Structure 1
Amino acid sequence: MSYTLKMKLWRGDRSGGELQDYDVEVENGEVVLDAIHRVQATQAGDLAVRWNCKAGKCGSCSAEVNGRPRLMCMTRLSDFDPAETITVTPMRTFPVIRDLVTDVSYNYEKARELPSVELPPRDADGKRRMMQEDVERGQEFRKCIECFLCQNTCHVVRDHEDNKPAFAGPRFFLRYAELDMHPLDTVDRRKVTREQAGLGYCNITKCCTEVCPEGIHITDNAIIPMKERVVDRTYDPLVWLGNKIGIRDKDRDSRSEI
């Protein structure tokens, strides 16, 4: 069964823009992206929207639907009252390129700052071995589709543009955690996570976790454990003493040689 959906879509570019009204015919079972495509096909051929897979796996169609960061391809029209007006705006944290398309290059800049994985030498038989339980700990983090909704909703950068140079954001704290928890990686990223990635700015409100379309427990399983590791190395008096006299550093060096 079809019905007429009322939509407000943000139209504009870097210099500014405004919401424009559209009435579009939609069908039961469709998603917001379907309605956007129909507006594009019938009323606004120049409407800019980024998308690719339409299956919730590419992370391209991120936007704000009625003020909430969501994937348009995974937001069903049936979640709204048919008489309700659906408002779609670009992600607020990133600069607008045009209409619903934003410039997310900030995220790629942060990705380049990540220290890469460094593995120890292979075993005598040429293999590397890990315990399955160690592998499973970081498995959840690899589900990230880089939609950057967590970055968009994080108030540290959403409300404070000047924090961006010193703050990596939840997507990359997830990556720092994934690498730091890798059972074979030999790099200690705790100092970099605190001083360069700005982990201390995060006050674990869990807004990033709430909008993750993959259901990753970003705060509980990645950010909080990383905070605990940073605090342990920086403020624990016994660890501080061990670092001061070189015990911890020697121990880490010996492990990396194994």
Structure 2
Amino acid sequence: MSTSTASNNYVADFRVWRGDADGGDLQDFKVEVNEGEVVLDIIHRLQATQASDLAVRWNCKAGKCGSCSAEVNGRPRLMCMTRMSTFERTDVITVTPLRAFPVVRDLVTDVGFNYTKAREIPAFVPPEGVAAGEYRMQQVDVERSQEFRKCIECFLCQDTCHVVRDHEENKAAFAGPRFLMRIAELDMHPLDAAGEAGLDRKRTAQEEHGLGYCNITKCCTEVCPENIKITDNALIPLKERAVDRKYDPLVWLGNKIGRRRTP
């Protein structure tokens, strides 16, 4: 190891939550840090040298699988994308599991809530009489959907949303920002034939998936590692369309006339 490289190494103070569903506590560790490393590197070194039974979920280490979600100094982050260089060498780095979900062990949480909500969202409804290979869309419509498709299912937005995080009783009625964004994506899709199939995505977003619980604090956008503008580009437009459908008297009248059958 060269002298210049060695001089960039140091020992950091880490506090890592250890425990399971029955309880736990923060434990203190001193761990070597090398130049260019991220928090996940330090957690791996901690496993290799001092806490071989430390449970942590990870996969790609490239910010694309969303597996290594945790809270670092209280902020929901991907550990593999949180560089140690963003902290002062004298800082104590605290790593805890996602607070909104039940702990399995150590830094691993049960995120099954999110998969339950995913299954509750009705899928894309293909347009009648158009084969899959014949779909045609304007580029602007593709770009709107593509932003939301960047989601890596890290569930950091779900974790930081105070409606989920601070009120366990809301989980039954609230899909959370990740899945309200999914509804918005489908509702914006020019080829989605949900309306023709009798499915009103705006109504179900409001009445079945808890859109009204969201008060657009933008905390979900702030923690998104893919920089998706969840609030501005998905949740607010969905709220606007849901309100128009429900309260605009002209829209209400138009819907009534449209549904009236001629004798």
- Structure 2 length normalisation: TM-score? 0.92
After superposition, the Cα gap between the structure-2 partners of 1:92 and 1:125, relative to the gap in structure 1 and judged at 3 Å, is closer
Offset from partner CA, 1:5-40 (integer Å, 9 cap, x none): 110000000000000001111101100000000000
1:166 to 2:173 alignment = yes
Equivalent-residue separation in structure 2 for 1:54 and 1:125 (angstroms): 35
2:93 matched to which residue of 1? Answer: 86
Q: How many residues end up aligned between the 2 structures?
A: 249
The one of 49, 65, 88 aligned to 1:58: 65
Q: How does 1:7-156 map to 2 (within 5 A)?
A: 7-123=14-130, 127-156=134-163
Equivalent-residue separation in structure 1 for 2:131 and 2:156 (angstroms): 44
Equivalent-residue separation in structure 2 for 1:147 and 1:126 (angstroms): 31
Equivalent-residue separation in structure 1 for 2:116 and 2:210 (angstroms): 15
1:176 matched to which residue of 2? Answer: 183
After superposition, the Cα gap between the structure-2 partners of 1:121 and 1:156, relative to the gap in structure 1 and judged at 3 Å, is same
Secondary structure of 1:10's counterpart equals: strand
Q: How does 1:173-252 map to 2 (within 5 A)?
A: 173-187=180-194, 188-243=200-255, 245-247=256-258, 249=259
Structure 1: stretches of 5+ with no match in the other structure: 252-258
Q: Identity across aligned pairs (percent)?
A: 71
- Structure 1 length normalisation: TM-score? 0.93
Runs of 4+ in 1 over 6 A off after TM superposition: none
Equivalent-residue separation in structure 2 for 1:178 and 1:12 (angstroms): 38
Secondary structure of 1:166's counterpart equals: coil
After superposition, the Cα gap between the structure-2 partners of 1:128 and 1:85, relative to the gap in structure 1 and judged at 3 Å, is same
Amino acid at match of 1:185: D
Equivalent-residue separation in structure 2 for 1:193 and 1:240 (angstroms): 18
RMSD: 1.6
